[in-house]
Amino acid sequence: MKTAAAILLSLAILGCGTSSRPQSAPPPPPPPTNAVDRGIQLYRSGQYAEAARVLGEAVSPESNDARGLAYLGLSLVQTDRSQQALRFLNRAAELDPNYAEPHYGLGLANGYMDRIPNMVDELEAAVRLDPRHAYAHYHLGLAYNKQDRTDLAILHLERFLELAPDAQEAPQVRALLSRLRR
């Protein structure tokens, strides 16, 4: 049987000491290793114009990088260049038919161009491919609401709140759901 001192020594060696010292924070994530990763990081941080610039230098419409093409397309959509984005998003969807992001981007682009039936088709494809894509559910709920398809709007907006309860859009979605349920 191990003595208490032996157990404490083992814990200390394993880094599981009983000290009440605060543990150090985990190291920051490594910096992106290439331009596509850097562009995606910029997109995710809301720096859409810079993401479009970086990704535009990294991929071409003939590229075989579905991820880079999809995020370039998404960045273009977010900078009011939906028509230009279609080329990149369609290429990404063609390269990887099981990747939800191009369909999400195509949904957004079609929505911004007021092509609501196409928006719905693409966002439905995105949620079919990735049922946990919160913002695909969000925009799909809004699109269904525009089409006065209240039951489907509620379904997708509720799913958005399940997946992203703390999203900045959550209070507006809760208010919209309250109105739709009346």
Number of folded domains that form the chain: 2
- Tell me how far apart the alpha carbons of residues 68 and 85 are, in angstroms, rounded to a whole number: 12
**55 falls within a domain:** yes
* Residue range of the domain that includes 180: 131-182
Residue 32's pLDDT is what?
52
Residues 112 and 169 in one domain: no
Q: In angstroms, what CA-CA distances link 34 with 56, 60, 177?
A: 13, 15, 42
CATH of the domain at 107: 1.25.40.10
The proportion of the chain whose per-residue pLDDT surpasses 70, expressed as a percent, equals 82
Output the pTM of the full model: 0.81
Residues 66 and 44 in one domain: yes
* pLDDT beyond 50 at 6: no
**2 falls within a domain:** no
**Exposure class string for 22-50: b at 16+ Cβ within 10 A, else e:** eeeeeeeeeeeeeebbbbbbbbeeebbeb
Average pLDDT over residues 148-167: 98
Residues 39 and 111 in one domain: yes
Residue 28's pLDDT is what?
58
- The predicted-structure confidence for 86-143, as pLDDT tens digits, reads as follows 999 999 999 999 999 999 999 999 999 999 999 999 999 999 999 999 999 999 999 9
